Amino acid sequence: MNGGDASRWRTMILLILVAGGGLAVRRHLYLVQAARHDSLLRFTQESAVQFYLVRRTMEDGLPTRDRNIGYPEGVNVRETFSLGAEYVYRALSRFFPKGMDLHEKLRWIQTAWFCSGIVGVGLVTLALLGPNHVWPATVASIFYAVSPAAVVRSSGVELSRENMAFPLIALHLLLVVRLWSSESGAKRTWVWSTAAAGIASSALVVWDMTQFYLTIVALWFVSRLFAGRTLERKLAVLLVMHWVVLGGVCLADPYLAAHGVISSPALLVLGWGCVYAWMPQAKLPRFARVPRVAGALFLVLTVWSLWGAEYAASYGHFTELLAAKLRFLNCKPADPGMLSFNQRIMWTPALNSATWALTFRLFPGMLVVTLAAALAMRRMQKIPWLFFYSVSLAAYCLFVRFHAYVAIFGSVLAGLLCGSAVSKARWSRRGLYGLLLAGILVDGWQSIARADLWGRPGIDYAAIGSLCRWLRENGRHQPVAANFGISGTILAYAECPIVLYPKFESPVIRRKVREYAEAVFRGDEEEARRFADRYGVGWLVWSRGEFSPIHPEWQMRYMVDALVPAQDAAARMFEFSSKGTRYFPLVWENRKYRVFRAIGFRAEHRADHLAGRATALLQEGRVEAAEKLAWEALGWDLNCRRAMEIVAHCASLQDQDFSYTPPGAGR
């Protein structure tokens, strides 16, 4: 082994050790949360639905249509969810002990997979600065390992599709940087470009919001293409291969095809660059190239107008929400009437707007370090990373969920700042090193010492556990209507079909959610009953707190413009009634959840029919048979008065030792 190989191995070992430290930080956070709740941390919301899909993948494979999700019509699983991580979980879980709990297997797999991206961030920094800049690469990796923005969603408390995508994003960055910064022949350029496009496609399949990353990278590619006086062959190949491979995957993958991602902004920008690259080129002044750029854009937009309807139907509500945030300067109005239904329901975690308090909790050290990088580094050192970071930071301010993008680009910027410090004067260099060390310590302290901050807010795991046990024992396989906060968990742990599921891209689920919310908060008991009957609901699970004065803008009454529901609103009964009502009797409750039996029109008619037969049997003196039918009637309708009277009458007769004598028995 020569000196260069030994140095590369030492660098890899160092970065792997940093990744191991990042894994330890995340496990620490998870264990703190588990000890805090002293209960099994069940997965919730979208995470619970993914857990259900992973388990089905492992047991008997995913069905084409699953009627347990979106009952009664069900959903086409492959067109509804970004499948990909499920198969990774299934493959890697085989390396764990058979008796190990599935939750723990998945948590270890997800966290370790995400931490592999820590190595990727270090290698990206190393590729940018050169093989001798080991410490800047290490600094970038450490920032990514301890930054709360990177730790909070990858600790294993919940499953998240983005955690499987970010290591692939880091690998894609590495391939692009290596290709860009090295001399390569035509064959190597085509091979590396194809490999990079394949990695980007894998990330897109695993997590559809990789579109954001692909869009900003495509914008940078295209801007470089337009700015050059002559066409850069390497850049043109990168653009073409990304457009071809990503486009093919968008057509082949059922989810991406169903949602029209082929006409997404990322593919649109890539197509724009490809059309421009294939136009006849000549050395032209900058302003003389404007007609070519405009012509390429016009051609791409013309084609998009034919393909874009599906994408607009699936993701148009994001544009609608963005428009509202810009209109109201990123502050959600107290009056829900100023927003549409889509805007109200989506302007909630994790698409809520960032606050200063949350920002300093997520980026206590990184913000200062990246500001120093923007001010202290030379222009050519920080471009395009400052562009990627700035766009990600702006996206985070509008949609908190994008904080993970800020973490990955901010970590690379921190590494580049460390590398640039070498050329500074002695005191400036020492000051930058001190700032980087302080940033790492502050971020690490926030992630480790304040681990109690990073759990799911408002989740009562003990109450969830008792609810799921009761439903599994008393109502398994009966359809449940519940809000997004608990419906996914009921699907995964109570084995009950759910009417509403936490996935908002489909117009069908958006319509169904609106129907439910309006029936409950704007309608009375009869309206809620019609909703339950329409979708075959057996149980209605109500989460207490819908009338809480804390964050009313995050509650469902805000979503349907009913902050103060009418006195006869079904929601008031579900929240406050001690026994329920005629068609929604309360059958079980704990400190957080209430379970109501939904009595539909069919159930009421069936109960009346059985009660009528029981009455006839009682008149004949057949007490036991009448009582049996009366109990069956109550199984359909707990509040069937005739059936209750028959049960009481039968009990009274049995207390009097009444016995039935068949006609003619005494002859």
- Kind of pairing between the strands at 539-543 and 480-481: parallel
Looking at the structure, tell me whether residues 232 and 294 fall in a common domain: yes
> Does residue 244 share a domain with residue 191?
yes
Structural contact between residues 556 and 504, judged by C-beta atoms closer than 8 angstroms: no
Return the pLDDT at 285: 56
pLDDT at 645: 76
Q: What percent of the chain has pLDDT over 70?
A: 91
Q: Are residues 538 and 630 in the same domain?
A: no
Domain end position, chosen among 569, 599, 629: 599
The verdict on 219 and 295 lying in the same domain is yes
pLDDT reported for residue 528: 93
Q: At 457, is the pLDDT very low, low, confident or very high (cuts 50, 70, 90)?
A: confident
- State mean pLDDT over 355-371: 93
R_g over Cα of the chain: 30
Question: Residue 293 has what pLDDT?
Answer: 62
pLDDT given for residue 590 in this prediction: 93
Same domain? For 304 and 241 the reply is yes
Encoded tokens for 36: 């805090």
Handedness of CA 410, 411, 414, 416 (dihedral sign): negative
Residues 186 and 292 in one domain: yes
Name the DSSP class of 493.
I
Task: Determine the 3-state secondary structure of 480 from DSSP.
Answer: strand
**pLDDT tops 80 at residue 304:** no
Q: Which range (80-94, 425-439, 446-460, 622-636) has the least confidence?
A: 622-636
Per the model's pLDDT, the better-predicted residue between 641 and 354 turns out to be 354
Lowest-pLDDT range, 182-196, 269-283, 548-562? 269-283
Say yes or no: 547 and 641 in one domain.
no
Asked if residue 534 is part of any domain, the answer here is yes
Please give the average per-residue pLDDT across 83-104, as a whole number. 92
Taking residues 366-370, report their average pLDDT.
94
The torsion angles phi and psi of 648, rounded to 5 degrees, stand at -65, -40
With a cut of 60, say whether residue 545 has pLDDT above it: yes
- Please check whether residues 182 and 320 belong to one and the same domain: yes
Distance between CA 388 and CA 392 in Å, rounded? 6
Rounded to 5 degrees, what are φ and ψ at 179?
-65, -40
Q: Using CB atoms within 10 A of its CB, is residue 56 exposed (0-12), middle (13-18) or buried (19+)?
A: middle
Mean pLDDT of all residues in 86-103: 92
Q: Would you state the pLDDT for residue 4?
A: 62
Residue 498 lies in a domain: yes
Answer yes or no: is 577 within a domain.
yes
User: Which helix (H) or strand (E) segment is 65 a member of?
Assistant: strand 65-66
One domain, residues 231 and 327 = yes
Q: Tell me whether residue 96 is in a domain.
A: no
367 occurs within a structural domain? no
d(CA 155, CA 112): 10
Please state which of the ranges 130-144, 260-274, 469-483 shows the lowest mean pLDDT: 260-274
Residue with tokens 């009562």: 460
Residues 631 and 544 in one domain: no
Residue 119 CA to residue 167 CA, distance in Å, equals 9
Between the alpha carbon of residue 298 and those of residues 161, 245, 268, 276, 301, the distances in Å are 35, 23, 11, 11, 5
| pLDDT for 665 beyond 50 | no
More confident residue, 463 or 651: 463
Confidence of residue 444 (pLDDT cuts 50, 70, 90): very high
Which residue do the tokens 């450490």 mark? 142
Who's near 284: CB < 8 A, 6+ residues apart? 229, 292
Residue 644 has pLDDT above 80, yes or no: no
Q: What is the pLDDT of residues 372-399, one digit of tens each?
A: 988 887 776 677 899 999 999 999 999 9
Eight-state DSSP code of residue 481: E
pLDDT of residue 666: 46
Reported as a single tens digit per residue, the pLDDT across 573-610 is: 999 987 778 889 999 999 999 999 988 888 777 877 77
Peptide bond into 63 cis (omega under 30): no
Compute the distance between CA of residue 180 and CA of residue 174 in angstroms, rounded to an integer.
Answer: 10
Give residue 231's pLDDT.
Answer: 57
Q: Which of 114-128, 184-198, 256-270, 545-559 has the highest mean pLDDT?
A: 114-128
Are 611 and 584 found together in one domain?
no
Query: Which tens digits make up the pLDDT trace of 155-202?
Result: 999 999 999 999 999 999 999 998 887 777 778 889 999 999 999 999
Band of residue 294 on the pLDDT scale cut at 50, 70, 90: low
Sequence-distant (6+) residues with CB within 8 A of 483 are: 500, 543, 556
H or E segment to which residue 597 belongs: strand 593-597
- Give the model confidence (pLDDT) of 6-35 as tens digits: 778 888 999 999 999 999 999 999 999 988
Q: What is the mean pLDDT of residues 418-432?
A: 82
In this structure, the strands spanning 480-481 and 75-76 are unpaired
Q: How confident is the model at residue 407 (pLDDT cuts 50, 70, 90)?
A: very high
Q: Examine residue 230 and state whether it is found in any structural domain, yes or no.
A: yes
Sequence-distant (≥ 6) Cβ neighbours of residue 132 within 8 angstroms: none
Q: Is the pLDDT of residue 322 over 80?
A: yes
In a domain, 561, yes or no: yes
Which whole number is the average pLDDT over 455-459? 82
Q: Is the pLDDT of residue 80 over 70?
A: yes
User: What number of helices (H) and strands (E) belong to the chain?
Assistant: 31, 6
Q: State how many domains the chain has.
A: 3
Q: Global pTM?
A: 0.90
Average pLDDT over residues 416-422: 87
Cα dihedral: 27, 31, 34, 36 (round 10): -130
Looking at residue 482, which CATH number applies to its domain? 3.40.50.12610
pLDDT, the chain, mean? 86
Q: Are residues 617 and 494 part of one domain?
A: no
Q: Is residue 241 part of a domain?
A: yes
Of the residues 347, 364, 397, the one at which a domain ends: 347
Q: What is the DSSP pairing of strand 593-597 with strand 539-543?
A: antiparallel
Q: Which domain holds residue 579?
A: 461-599
Q: In the predicted model, what is the mean pLDDT of residues 399-404? A: 93
Note the pLDDT of residue 667.
42
The DSSP annotation for 311-372 comes to: HHHHHHHHHHHHHHHHHTTT---S-GGGS-HHHHHHSSTTSSPP-HHHHHHH-TTHHHHHHH
Contacts of 222 (CB under 8 A, 6+ apart): 239, 269, 270, 272, 273, 276
Q: Please say which residue of 561, 576, 599 terminates a domain.
A: 599
By mean pLDDT, which of 24-28, 62-66, 232-236 is the weakest?
Answer: 232-236
